[in-house]
Structure 1
Amino acid sequence: MVGMKWSAAPWGMALALVTVTAAAAPAAAHGQASDRARPAQRIVLANADTGRSVTARLGDDVEVRLTGHREHGLTYTWSTPASSNSTVLRRTAGGTSPSGDASAVFHAEHRGTATITAVRRCRPAPGHLCPLVVLPWKATVEVQ
């Protein structure tokens, strides 16, 4: 931090402009903010991210947004995403919609690895038949 300070000579006859410089904190001066000083991040995963592995840090949120779809009298709906290890990744919000969409937010609580999973199933309209196919979705999250 740079500031200006006026200084008078001991006998009060002349004034001098003195520049005062304060030293910055060592970590901030070198661009090395600690993990605690880093703001939490939000990692967003979608349908196309199945099979993906991501790294999160303590305090980060992982949001999963899965989109269902309808075609020919069939609605393909997702289950609410779940964590394999709630000690590592705790779900703080989650749910499904009538259109088949599902979402959830997970908070990185402890170091470790957890898998987020969901399943897409077919829901037939009256007079239609669904194929007997279940589509799994998963992502692996390593919390550091």
Structure 2
Amino acid sequence: MKAVPLTAALALTALAVCAPVSEATPSVRAGRVTLTNADNGHPVTVHTGDDVQVNLTGSHEAGLTYSWSVPVSDAAVLHRTAGSTTPRGDATARFHAERAGIAVLSAQRHCRAEPGHLCPLVVTPWKVRVEVK
């Protein structure tokens, strides 16, 4: 049997465990699902007791900042335990799956203009249907 240095063994273990995640697929860790801008419109299934982390990224271009509202849930199925926004337009929220059922997570992206710029009158919705089993 050949001895493998510890650092090489750890690196091989990390490669085997950490498969790349598609941008349109929620990132799943034991007990936690992470959703991003790319998950808009995609259904997600979690289990009672799991946490759902939402990380939405704003953008800035040509004097306009596109900012997200703090994500919310429309049902008692998912209870929000944290939520915040940043001046750059990002928004985050964490939800805990309290009981079985269906909930919709949602947020809205809106425009903030710098002086001398005008925003389009458009609000962009973000929604994810979450089934808790």
Q: Is TM more than 0.5 here? A: yes
- Which of 109, 114, 126 does residue 115 from structure 2 map onto? 126
When you count helix as a share of all residues, which structure comes out higher? Answer: 2
Residue 40 of structure 1 and its aligned partner are, at CA, apart by: 5.4
Root-mean-square deviation (Å)? 1.1
TM-score normalized by the length of structure 1: 0.71
What residue identity is the alignment partner of 2:83?
A: G
When you count strand as a share of all residues, which structure comes out higher? Answer: 1
Instruction: Name the counterpart of 2:62.
Output: 72
User: 2-side partners of 1:42 and 1:57: how far apart?
Assistant: 9
The 3-state SS of whatever aligns with 2:118 is: coil
User: 2-side partners of 1:109 and 1:40: how far apart?
Assistant: 16
Instruction: Name the counterpart of 1:6.
Output: none
User: 1-side partners of 2:44 and 2:59: how far apart?
Assistant: 26
Instruction: Name the counterpart of 2:130.
Output: 141
Mapped contact 1:120–1:134 kept (Cα < 8 A): yes
Aligned residues: 105
Structure 2 matches for 1:20-31, cutoff 5 A?
none
Aligned residues with identical type, % of pairs:
60
Runs of 4+ aligned residues of structure 1 deviating over 4 Å after TM superposition are none
Mapped contact 1:83–1:115 kept (Cα < 8 A): yes
Structure 2: any 5+ residue segments left out of the alignment?
Answer: 1-28
User: 2-side partners of 1:120 and 1:94: how far apart?
Assistant: 15
Instruction: Name the counterpart of 1:103.
Output: 92
